[in-house]
Amino acid sequence: MTRIIILILMHTIADFFLQGSKLSRLKAIKLPYLFEHVGIYTLLFVVLSPLVLGLTIVQGLIFSGLNGFLHLIIDYYTGKFKTKYIDTDEAKYIATIGLDHSLHLVLLIASYIYLFPTALNSSFGTFFN
C-alpha cells in the first residue's frame, strides 16, 4: 500500500506542482507546451521510479515511458474538453479535471501492479538496498 501512496504522491508532484500556471493553461492549446509538461512528468518518474518504487533502472524507464505516453494521450484529449468548457460551463470544466486526474491514477496504479507485481512487496527502491 505504501508504494501506491508514493505513486499517487509522485503523480501529484509531477502533474501539478512542477508546472506553473502558464504551462498549465497553454498545454491544453499548444502542443509544444503539452510536450514540455509530459517531459517534466516523465523525467520525474524516470528519476524516482528506481529510487522509491522498487524498480530496476530498466523497469523504471519502461514504466516511465509507458506512463509518459499515456499521460500525453489523456492530457491531449482532456485538454480539448477543458478549453471547450473553461468559459462556458464551470461544472463540466471541473468534471474534466477530475476525469483527467482519475484516468492518470488508474492507469499508473494498474500498469505498476500489472507490469511489476513483485515490486509492491520488494524492499524500498534500489537506492535503499
The number of beta carbons lying within 10 Å of the beta carbon of residue 63 is: 23
Instruction: Select from 64, 48, 51 the least CA-distant residue to 108.
Output: 64
Please give the residue range of the domain that contains residue 68: 2-128
Cβ contacts of residue 98 below 8 Å, gap of 6+? none
Whether residue 126 has pLDDT greater than 60: no
pLDDT digits (tens, 9 = 90+) for 30-82: 999 999 999 999 999 999 999 999 899 999 999 999 999 999 999 999 888 77
Per-residue confidence (pLDDT) for residue 122, from 0 to 100: 65
User: Is 82 within 8 Å of 97 (Cβ atoms)?
Assistant: yes
Per-residue confidence (pLDDT) for residue 71, from 0 to 100: 95
Of 24-33, 66-75, 88-97, give the lowest mean pLDDT range. 88-97
The pTM of this model reads 0.85
Per-residue confidence (pLDDT) for residue 44, from 0 to 100: 97
DSSP per-residue string spanning 19-80: S-HHHHHHTTT-HHHHHHHHHHHHHHHHHHHHHHSS--HHHHHHHHHHHHHHHHHHHHHHHH
pLDDT digits (tens, 9 = 90+) for 102-113: 999 999 999 999
C-alpha to C-alpha distance for 95 and 32, rounded to whole angstroms: 25
Domain count, the chain: 1
